[in-house]
Amino acid sequence: MPDRIAFITGASRGIGRGIALELARQGHHIAGAATRADPTDTRRGLYEVKARVEAMGRDFLPVTGNIARIAEHAPMIEAVMKRFGRIDVLVNNAGVAPPERKDILECSEESYDRVMNINLRGPFFLTQAVAKRMIRQIESTGTDAGPPPVIVFVTSISSDTASPNRAEYCVSKAGLGMTAQNFAVRLAEYGIGVYDIRPGIIMTDMTEGVKNRYDRLIEDGLLLEKRWGTPEDIGRAVTAVATGALPYSTGAVIEIGGGFGVKRL
């Protein structure tokens, strides 16, 4: 497979970092986006990921921008195009949890709007813009130029599992899953694969505050595989669809949750 360019939002830590490293291991050059980046800090953040990717012999472009601000999408995309000339894989990973878990009856407009803007509205319009670029790439090079582009939405098991103490997060991820379905339908004629990757309980800084609770749930049998998931687990799943290892599967919903979704009696 020729060198491929992956544009990953929320790439500075957690799941996004895991995806970036796994895609780099499989030969992708990476454009990693985050809201901030400190070139002097190579211990964490985008420049830590950059150092690791480049140690594998791949290129890494740090891109800064706020996914919630639609006006910042074009400069982010232009930075990637200026450096690499194309986008072969878009990974919509950036997302946030509510700053405070509150009962649905107490959810504030501010928390709702913040989560929706970052988790749903931003990825919707970023994908719209990148998809148009991908279509132009296909039209200019033809379908024989290599594997077609791929778009991945990192959603959550919360897409269809209610948690009324963080309802805005669940609603945003459910909407993102439907966004993936709609883009899958619209882009099928161009051969652009669209996937909904649904992480389960993943060990990241986002879940640190509920670690004890989830430790107990896992021990009590919530999952078939009695362990936390890792960002690398998600990275391997994204790599599978990005490299064409799952052909004939556009629109697929892929849970990476240790068997969470299996119905049992």
**Using CA atoms, how far apart are residues 35 and 133, in angstroms rounded to an integer?**
23
Listed in sequence order, the residues at least 6 apart from 16 whose beta carbon sits closer than 8 Å to its beta carbon are 8, 9, 10, 32, 34, 91, 93, 94, 231
Residue 2: predicted pLDDT? 59
Residue 59: predicted pLDDT? 98
Domain spans in the chain, listed from the N-terminal domain onward: 4-256
Residue 31: predicted pLDDT? 98
Return the CATH fold of 4-256: Rossmann fold (3.40.50)
> Per residue in 184-202, pLDDT tens?
999 999 999 999 999 999 9
pLDDT of 1 > 60? The answer is no
CB count, 10 Å around CB of 88? Answer: 22
Name which residue leads in pLDDT, 208 or 167. 167
